[in-house]
Structure 1
């Protein structure tokens, strides 16, 4: 991974690198010294971050000096162990407002040194002989130190913007020196600091090699974390150039200069360049991974592959959550062609005949939803199946997802929370890395049915019907060989059979699936006769929990006995359906037939379609 990332960084255009150079949010102060060593603030300006607007040339110049003077990380700073001074240069002194007088982290205990007292150690380290500062430069650095100790407090009070700083804002004080001096010191500091430790540095052909500091902790001071029987001290060294590239990569990622996830075409740098150009095409909105990949496919008219895909997580710290090689990216869901030679789409049919509101009074049937590619699948299927907790689309903000981010259980029902943690990585692999085997028949069924049964507890009828539509429309694609019994057309056959069963004396159920569908229809009709004011679809749960056919019939007989007073004696269609359900003995287990029971329950009920019966006095509330 290290070599690939280093190579990727070398492909990044300079114009993108420049975007990583931004001033820290806070107060930037430039100090000039005269011939007698007296310091004076000659200019200052506060940077507000995203709210700032156009950046002045002064702040741009400060940003260049800031980058050249900044620490590699807090473990490599000059203010150990306090870690409150975040610059690492004799030309700059930077800290957060909270570390200064009146701040939350300013020591109130007289035994603890404040930031000015710690500046002695800071400058002592910055003037170490290894940095090659001559006597003249050392003298100027001491002048800077003396100015900070004697005059910084008064200088800050005289700057109006200082009073408005937030505790997390930075205060950065720069010496008025050429940027070349900043960079020369940085080069020496970084050469050693980019490695995890200098203890194992070696030089070969003029190049320094050492232990990687990139997501790598060194355990020399923690014996319980080290190999006790290994014949070697370290396993691998990287070059100083690679260490520098990895440090630049961390900086650019922290500035969110790349899409997430980011594809890296190591052997086709022109594609990587295209990706970056597409990402920065608009100043108003950055393109998503989906949009970038789609445009690349349209541009080159060929499959993409042989690239590394990297996913970043931006929490308390930046982390690489996934790094993998994609040999071939399958954009389209189907390999089949239609009569015109165009790729076929998967389609979510409206098997439950669910309706949506057009306005307060009118409703219309949901139209079939075509799914041409994996990103359509992510949006329409994964979004719905996980209640938009894993993937969510917003017309203004675009797509947001949580494939690797930390998720709190608060705000999630236990079953859905468990589904997200269990399947989000396989789903990510399925969509973004074309690992189609990561989601198979059993995984797809578990996701759909667990979500549906969980929704029953809250009576979410629209969500349940949407998930049933997905289940019956797409389950065939997750079999190694398509199973026609789960195609949407099969549900239409069950609906047609139901019409015959209740109307024709000689027509009976001809399959276990048809029986389960009819049982669902019967149960819904009986439960609709309830006079309870707060009845929800949760009342279906006792029937779904039955695994024994005799017990299942007993449960149906129980509600029939309970609501028999609300059903006319001569309701022949009902009588025929009830008798057919109660006498049928299925060969398959009830758990296997559960999807068809749910389909029958939530599809339009055949017994309400007859003009010979009164409309139900009460329907179950969603």
Structure 2
């Protein structure tokens, strides 16, 4: 909203009861003081027909003799004290400050005079105003996405250019709401029952980015207890999640590495030493569903998104150079436990035992899907452990985690087997047996669950090693 009555913006007040100006503009203000106050005698500063229509609703009040007398009195008072106040500011070395005059009148008169100005300025543009039942209706100036300088924002496919019109009373109430929102030093506003609202400030103005009626409060939200099972054989891996707040915390810690809630509404998530590009992408792709669930208690998308991006969560956890394996195991425990609540059970111990049985069998059997992909993941870790790099992390397995079919997996395994053959003991029968089992598979496209089982095989304890041999990838 343009606060200045005159286009040159030398005068900053909006009624004849006040006078605001910058100290450095004193000379200009003094010379044009009467001209400024004369504007309020009839508000005849615009030739625009819509502006004149708004003024016409207050014409009787504006022309009232008593009001005209009050304007004349304001001119006399401001002229009388103008130089004294200006000199006082100069003597006390005030620089680049505002001078503000207030005429001692009733507050209701201030409100009435200011309302005339607001009626002229409250809408996005008076061009779209209409008159209905002797009342002016216009386009709201807040959260409309409408700008006359950008016509492509108009509603071209509709009968009318603008989406809706509101009364001056509602427009003023909306302005007061947005002024209040702009003063709130928080992103999510929870001051209203059953309403979720998030906002950000742009150019000192509040912009509502999300708004929804939420009939369920957090205290009334029904959260089913979750038991996190220890699928990956880690110390203290089993735990029970009893509350919604605990669930929020475990999702943030084990899937987002404590980066979720600090970035829910951050549109400029920056890559750093503490936040990888993969995590950045994951946050952008999933946070809307996290907002829906954790802020609005709407679970419609939550479980679908958790499963869709489950492998990405595991891969991000694996990236930690120091705790990659442990983080990944915790993520897998959580993801598989959530999957079980939806009736999808995975018995990792049974899969592992069948793979061990196949490794010790005299024949080369064909493993089923889960067993095969678990074996490939385990074998991949066995091979990359032979790298001579000083620090062995899951980055060495990137080619495996990007594979989308079994043909590619077999090619990578063959390449790594050839690369590290100098370090493969000729009598290491279990490794050779694992390689033959991994090659004994048709060329298949891998599903999300297949790729996940490869990741599980990578992070599980290595079963393709000789007795006493250490698993060298960082735990």
**Which range, TM-score by smaller chain?**
0.7 to 0.9
Q: Partner of 2:241 in structure 1?
A: 370
Q: Residue in 1 aligned with 2:104?
A: 177
- Equivalent pairs, count: 447
State the distance in 2 between where 1:197 and 1:532 align. 67
> For residues 580 and 556 of structure 1, what CA distance do their matches in structure 2 show?
11
2:296 equivalent to 1:430: no
Secondary structure in structure 2 of the residue aligned to 1:309:
strand
What displacement does 1:221 show?
Answer: 8.5
CA distance in 2, matches of 1:534, 1:91: 76
| Residue-by-residue CA offset, 1:311-342 (whole Å, 9 max, x unaligned) | 222343311112233455687887xxxxxxxx
Offset of residue 514 of structure 1: 1.8
**Which range moved further: 227-236 or 317-326?**
227-236
How far off is 1:493 after superposition?
A: 2.8
Q: Give the Cα separation in 1 of the matches to 2:111 and 2:292.
A: 43
For residue 71 of structure 2, what is the aligned residue in structure 1?
138
Offset of 1:369 from its aligned partner?
A: 5.6
Alignment partner of 1:406 is 2:267: yes
CA distance in 2, matches of 1:410, 1:504: 49
> What corresponds to 2:398 in structure 1?
541
Deviation (angstroms), 1:517: 1.3
Cα distance change of structure 1 residues 351 and 559 upon mapping to structure 2, 3 Å threshold:
same
Change in Cα spacing, 1:389 to 1:144, as seen in structure 2 (3 Å) is farther
Match of 1:345 among 210, 219, 225: 225
Pick closer, same or farther for the CA change 1:324–1:576 going to 2, 3 Å: same
Task: Pick from 293, 312, 324 the counterpart of residue 199 of structure 2.
Answer: 312
Q: Please tell me whether residue 468 in structure 1 is matched to residue 396 in structure 2.
A: no
Mapping 1:244-393, distance limit 5 Å: 244-256=172-184, 260-262=188-190, 264=192, 272=193, 307-316=194-203, 317-326=205-214, 344-353=224-233, 365-368=236-239, 370=241, 372-373=243-244, 375-382=245-252, 384-392=254-262
**TM-score, structure 1 length as denominator?**
0.59
| Counterpart for residue 350 of structure 2 | 493
Q: Provide the rounded CA distance (Å) in 1 between the counterparts of 2:32 and 2:330.
A: 63
Whether the 8 Å CA contact 1:379–1:391 is kept in 2: the answer is no
* In 1, Cα distance between equivalents of 2:150 and 2:407: 65
Match of 2:382 in 1: 525
Are the aligned partners of 1:516 and 1:596 in contact in 2 as well (CA < 8 Å)? yes
Partner SS, residue 322 of structure 1: strand
Structure 1 vs Structure 2 CA RMSD: 4.4
Seen in structure 2, the aligned counterparts of structure 1 residues 90 and 547 have a Cα distance that, compared at 3 Å, is same
User: 2:154 & 2:438 partners in 1: Cα distance?
Assistant: 68
Say whether 1:420 aligns with 2:308. Answer: no
Deviations along 1:242-298, whole A, 9 cap, x unmatched?
Answer: 23322221222122299824374xxxxxxx4xxxxxxxxxxxxxxxxxxxxxxxxxx
Alignment of 1:144-183 (within 5 A): 145-146=78-79, 150-159=83-92, 162=94, 171=98, 173-175=100-102, 177-178=104-105, 180=107, 181-183=109-111
Partners of 1:465 and 1:122 in 2: CA distance: 74
Tell me the equivalent position of 2:118.
Answer: 190
Instruction: Give the deviation of 1:542 after TM superposition.
Output: 1.5
Structure 1 contact 78–121 (Cα < 8 Å) conserved: no
- Between the aligned partners of 1:85 and 1:377, the Cα distance in structure 2 is 57
SS in 1 for 2:196: strand
Give 2:49's aligned residue: none
